[in-house]
Amino acid sequence: MAESFRSSTSPCQTSSRALAEAMQRHLFFSQAKSPSLATRHDHYRCLALAVRDRLLHNWVDTAETYTQAQVRTAVYLSAEYLLGPHLDNNLVNLGLRQEAEQACHELGLDLEELIREEPEPGLGNGGLGRLAACFQESMATLELPAIGYGIRYEFGIFRQQITTQGQQESTDSWLAQGNPWEVIRPEWSYPVTIGNHTVIGVAYDTPILGYGVRTTNTLRLWAASAPEALDFASFNAGDYTKAVLHKMQSETLSKVLYPNDEPEQGKRLRLSQQIFFVSCSLQDMFRILRGQGLPAREFHRKFAVQLNDTHPAIAVAELMRLLLDEHRLDWDTAWGVTTASLSYTNHTLLPEALETWGIDLFQQLLPRQLEIIYEINARFLRMARIRYPGQPDKLARLSLIEEGPHRKVRMANLAVVGCHHTNGVAELHSELLRRHVLADFAELWPDRFTNVTNGVTPRRWMAVANPALANLLDDVIGSHWRRDLTHLQALGKHTGDDAFLQRWRGVRDASKQRLVQHIHQTQGILLDHSSLFDVQVKRIHEYKRQHLAALHVVERYLRLRNGEDLPPRTVIFGGKAAPGYAMAKLIIRLIVGIAEIVNMDPAMAGRLRVVFVPNFSVSLGQLIYPAVDLSEQISTAGKEASGTGNMKMALNGALTIGTLDGANIEIRDQVGADNFFLFGHTAEQIHEFDRMGYHPMPWIEKDPIVREVIELIGSGHFSEGDRDLFHPLLANLTSHDPFKVMADIGDYRQAQNHVDACWQDPSRWARMSVANTMGCGFFSSDRSIQEYAERIWKVAPVPVEATTRSL
């Protein structure tokens, strides 16, 4: 391994002593501090800047290589990037972690403490943003020319606290102490007109390093500013508020990730954010095109642009506007360039998540883009009428405009019409897109629809998150798994080796103890690391069915209270609910109420514990995923697009209890049905329930255990006697149950009983755990990106050679 890194580092990347000296220089020249006055955060910044110095060589070499070769470039447009902390990941990818440990030791510092000092970038919320981050790292590792574009949010979505009242939100000021990884590019700024205002987007660049290679791609994020920071006439007139009003209004665009879009002002801000980062990004691409002497009509030969869900779908209209109005192409040529440039990833099967915008709002903010959308729609429907004569209902579904009393622009329809490929993110998801959500388009253009199953980067989610497991794998099968996860199959030779299984259990036990220590330090709750760790950490949503798991915890509580002998279990929840999503916040409140009663009941000591870990993040994921025994992937079949948390947990040796939903299907295929706890109705059966008319009461009436659980919750037992608190949640489950919790809960119980039986045989569980890690080689983001590059983008690797620069 060391040899491969020697060839990938620049001349300045030498010994730990050089790194220590660089840290000391930055303490003086960048922080203006002496060691006696420096805080731990100052030392973190010094190490980060010293590591960034080493990245800069590769970053500049990469940009020069791409410019000289005039290579075709993959462009990723995403509203969020859940990057996680940079320092540890960059040390691993540079092969400098041991040197960093030694350098810190020489300076009397602790590397782990400095790593924990890094604020988590508030640029993403859930799986969509984390997937974008994994993809950026994989593109660099595969040496693919690529740029990621998004928004430099000043504040993350929110910081979550968990109290006895449930979720409480506060400001996520992740930039309060600056960001040592970014470089501002004020020379690359672009105007964007939104309604009657013009906003300037300023580029902030972050280097994204590949593993064991020199390739260092760019993540370019846009910060909003006003054309003039100060209205001098108003200032001189004494109207100081008006003097800075435009500046404040402009900067609001990049203030907060995903503002609440329940009120009209929230919708206005969300749409403004989307056109802002999309337009800046497209204008930047045209700048690159000009710099390489290429005409606008060659845009599609230079760039392959991927739309990460519907948030950047306005790119279809904006690229057309730039080609028509700024570069004076005729319509047919511009449309040919647009459709040849853009491709679209759909991430949802929920109709309410397919973005639509009211015509009135669109007209106010983006009148020219709306004109273009009308024209695209008119030409598209003209073609569709010829294909489907006398079928007005089909044409209405295909239209980019939803008619009716509240006319809307359908962004998913716009994306499909304006892109040469549309892909889902798991086999089932892609099939359901073709059969249901986008069926009319798939019938019209079957060749445009494809699947690329999601993946996760093994560097972040094993090498960084689980170094003990990474070292064990290096010892047993070699280190090639870090770049090619299919090498995990070699573990099959060791599943019968008792000594290996003992080491495996030791690694897992150490990861659980590490999490136990963190929870004790941060929440004051002491857990038993020898109990089964049953974990569900992800965005809180009804379709993900955290309430199904909560109901089972209550059932388990009752069974234990009634004297049943069950193996000890620790149930861990985590995840954020959108501030305006009342039912999701009520689910959190239920979990908190259950935890309060269970954890204070002396009869549950050593038998059952419940924890809600607040403010779930990448950093917490790196602690939690390696410690999971049982991964809860229990969404209603046909609702989850893919999931990536399911991959991270299984990759680290967790066993999954799950439905045939999203990527669960492919995980089960890869790891083997005997190593997966399956339950629940299929997507086809769920669809049939909806078609025939579903009511939960027949399921409840034949299940006395469920009735007892519902009655106990309704009695106020978990809400300090308040019988009304959980009434909306229980009423939803018993009268409507949109996500079929009651239909699946009996089967879920049987699967959980099977979990208990398997857990009581440690050797069997260890072999099943190894089988999960061994079978997850398919779920690498490297494989996903390779598929995008070969099948959709037509982008080839471009190795980056070293120069002889010195610091």
Q: Which of 54, 57, 347, 482 is the catalytic position? A: 347
Q: Which of 86, 97, 130, 648 is the catalytic position? A: 648
Closest CA to 661 of 739, 750, 753: 739
CA 250/CA 716 separation, integer angstroms: 48
Distances (CA, A) of 196 to 83, 193, 242: 34, 7, 17
Clarify whether 585 is annotated catalytic.
Answer: no
759 near 765, Cβ under 8 Å? yes
Residues 6+ apart with CB under 8 A from 213: 8, 140, 141, 143, 799, 800
Distances (CA, A) of 707 to 695, 700, 716, 737: 15, 6, 15, 15
59 near 207, Cβ under 8 Å? yes
Give the other-Cβ count within 10 Å of 400's Cβ.
Answer: 24
Q: Which of 302, 538, 609, 668 is the catalytic position? A: 538
What element of type H or E holds 176?
none
Q: Which of 544, 607, 681, 783 is the catalytic position? A: 544
Q: Map residue 257 onto helix, strand or coil.
A: coil
Residues 6+ apart with CB under 8 A from 646: 631, 633, 656, 658, 662, 663, 664, 667
CA 746/CA 592 separation, integer angstroms: 24
74 near 306, Cβ under 8 Å? yes
Token pair, residue 222, equals 């846009």
What element of type H or E holds 308?
strand 303-308
Q: CA neighbours within 13 Å on the CB side: how many for 13?
A: 27
Q: Which of 338, 644, 659, 773 is the catalytic position? A: 644
Distances (CA, A) of 698 to 55, 689, 743: 62, 13, 9
CA 72/CA 718 separation, integer angstroms: 58
The end-to-end CA distance of the chain, in Å, is 25
CA 618/CA 125 separation, integer angstroms: 10
Closest CA to 313 of 192, 416, 396, 441: 416
Clarify whether 73 is annotated catalytic.
Answer: no
Closest CA to 620 of 584, 569, 573: 573
Closest CA to 462 of 477, 476, 478, 481: 481
| 746-774 core/surface letters (b: 16 or more CB in 10 A; e: else) | bebbebbeebeebbeeeeebbbbbbbbbb
Token pair, residue 182, equals 């970014």
Sheet holding 401-402, edge to edge: 356-358, 408-410, 401-402
Per-residue 3-state assignment (H helix, E strand, C coil) for 602-653: HHHCCCEEEEEECCCCHHHHHHHHHHCCEEEECCCCCCCCCCCHHHHHHHCC
Token pair, residue 379, equals 């030409």
Clarify whether 648 is annotated catalytic.
Answer: yes
* Strand 569-574 relative to strand 408-410, pairing: unpaired
Give the other-Cβ count within 10 Å of 522's Cβ.
Answer: 12
788 near 306, Cβ under 8 Å? yes
Q: Which of 434, 539, 589, 740 is the catalytic position? A: 539
Q: Map residue 26 onto helix, strand or coil.
A: helix
Give the other-Cβ count within 10 Å of 721's Cβ.
Answer: 9
Q: CA neighbours within 13 Å on the CB side: how many for 724?
A: 0
The region that residue 80 occupies, defined by phi over 0 for left and psi between -120 and 50 for alpha, beta otherwise, is beta
Clarify whether 539 is annotated catalytic.
Answer: yes
Rg over alpha carbons for the chain, rounded to the nearest Å, is: 27
Clarify whether 347 is annotated catalytic.
Answer: yes
Clarify whether 394 is annotated catalytic.
Answer: no
CA 50/CA 55 separation, integer angstroms: 9
Residues noted as catalytic? 347, 538-539, 544, 644, 648
